A = this chain, B = another copy of it.
Amino acid sequence: MTGDGLDRSRKAGKTYKRIVEHIRGEISSKKLRPGDRLPPEANLARSLGVSRPTVREALKVLESQNVLRSSTGPTGGTFVEAIDGAGVAEYLKDSISLLLDVDELTLEELWEVREVTEVTAAELAAVRRTEQDMFVIEKTVEMDELKEGVYIVSDISFHRAIAEASKNRMLSLFAGSIHMTLRTLAERYIMPEDVLPEVKRISQQQHRLIYEAISDQDWALAATRMREHLQLSYGVYERAMPRGRSGRIGKQPPAGDARLGTGQVDAPRR
């Protein structure tokens, strides 16, 4: 029982990366399943023949990918998370936000994809929706109509519910990542009072109409109405977003301009 773990002879790349691949492989092949607990870091290090800091680099990478989660204490440890689209979408949100920030992506491009994604979701939902789905969607519609709460939040809940009703987890993942991105953008740039009551009212009506089209399983109508609704929604974000590359629009530092130490960026060497 050598149990030596990582093949040391085939050292393809950095150690921590091999460990990451190794653990991902264990999950792929279902030798590790969601909920499983990994051995303590010290034991892992010993079995893999590396040091604890190196193991930790790998574990932190997987934790940041929402694949593992750690906690302290006797019942704590490192556990395999549920492997589903939610964790991926969460990660994607951060990446998309970053791309927007550095102008490697525009709201127009994002919206073009949102439209095709969500119109498709509406079509599929109209065809595949269950009673259960309709119940969930209706709840979001009502939340929207009744509550004074944040418009953006209930709006996104509505769209998320439809994506779920499409019964396509890939579509739901992509749509979800866009929804999370929009929520982040809204939190950053949209004050609740910025959204005109008029817009809210129309949006709510559109939600109701989309709901009915899906309920009637009229996929063509659902698609048309969704498309129309998204055009209205676009205006809300487009108006609020900082303009092009004119002003500096970074994530504003939250009170306490933390910055890297002096000489944060070395000048090119020559």
Question: A22 to B103, alpha carbons, bound, how many Å?
Answer: 19
Q: How many protomers of this protein does the assembly include?
A: 2
A228-255, CB < 8 A from B: 248, 250-251, 253
Contact status B261-A29, CB under 8 Å:
no
Known: A56-B53, A84-B99, A264-B47. A25 touches B251 (CB 8 A): yes
Tell me which of B30, B57, B250, B265 contacts A102 (CB under 8 A): B30
Contact status A263-B53, CB under 8 Å:
no
Asked if A11 is at the interface of the complex by the 8 Å CB criterion, the answer is no
Asked if A143 is at the interface of the complex by the 8 Å CB criterion, the answer is no
Known: A16-B60, A251-B28. A261 touches B44 (CB 8 A): yes
Question: A207 to B113, alpha carbons, bound, how many Å?
Answer: 24
Contact status B83-A88, CB under 8 Å:
no
Contact status B109-A261, CB under 8 Å:
no
* Contacting residues, chain B, for A94 (C-beta < 8 A): 24
Contact status B264-A75, CB under 8 Å:
no
